[in-house]
Structure 1
């Protein structure tokens, strides 16, 4: 069985020799003297060669000038096809660009900032959409122009539930692990309405670290309503009076003289 090898054409010698032409093209784009030594060439195809030059600009360390030269078939003159500045090994590159919607993090929104929501946001559904479940989340008024324009969709509820349950108010935190019991058994736990009622609620204990925040039912803290352990009551013993004995009490001399004079006066 014979194997067919792909034909690799040798670099065109006229294009390989056009180093000065390629350098002049790079100097037209850069500041004078910035294109440095010739780093080599690479064959791109039939009569197409790219020459590489070091970039001496301190702001572009690790970059290199790439100048592609070519010539037409049966033509002797070599011309410049393209000249660009490309990053090389170890070049300093800018981080990958992300749209603002992906760079935004919780807590970034400040006073006066506006965060527009796209029309096709999967987290929201039209406010007049009826739901099959009787969770209480569906819009109470379905007439156009009344109520909210959009409500949470099933995707939006699922994302919120996952975010809350895996966050600092969920069960996987040190304070929850050290709690005497879960929030679901706490008297200060106020369950949410609707489909999230079985999983989340609001803490209503002013002394708890999560007061006024949504907490998972299996979250917990040391301010649990049933966590207080009262000390056992101790009955006070009845005082014992010894009326059989007596104690000698010494009085000062002045007070003895006064009492004696009073007795003489009465006599």
Structure 2
């Protein structure tokens, strides 16, 4: 028989005696109250319609399509716009009232686009408006000094494999290669075509392909006369061009700087105008 002073075994690590942990209180979340619909403002449909009709063309304010509460004692009425050039647009009339006021007041009236509204294209900066294929005969692009697609002609690229190039030049690995007759026929077509020296863009261009950084010479016997254009801004991009061909997207030509618009002497000098 054990005495009262005998130590009892520790059962705190037993599952049956484990005490349930207290639940952590939930973190307080910021409460955002949505504005309630103001009865006085919601009833001001006729007042809002009059405001819209006061600035709209006659007959272009259609049916009332709804009212949305914007804040306490502030809301906006929407009316369908029936103008021919504004499908999907709506007249928005903001109304408000003072505390304990029973009368709505017009704040502003404007025309807003809806989800199906006809909108103008997104504005594009002038520097980004030119797209590949826009350069025509007689057009000249400005010179890009730090063009990432070009490097100095004396820089070593390290991509040439002399042995592999020799195999390609000899035509090894192909059953047949282009004969002199076929080569001359192709050269004649290319010279007389859009990539030749007689093309309109070549005649109007100050720079020729032989001095352009985007000119990639061809291999074999045609190397001395033809190459491939690698300039996406050129109308000849990806095509065979002659050394004497050219266009306004030459890497080394530059567009003339625009002259500033002349500003004449003002008729009235505001600094000397004496208002009596």
Give the structure-2-normalised TM-score: 0.45
| Higher RCO (CA < 8 A, seq sep 6+) | 2
Q: Radius of gyration: which is bigger?
A: 1
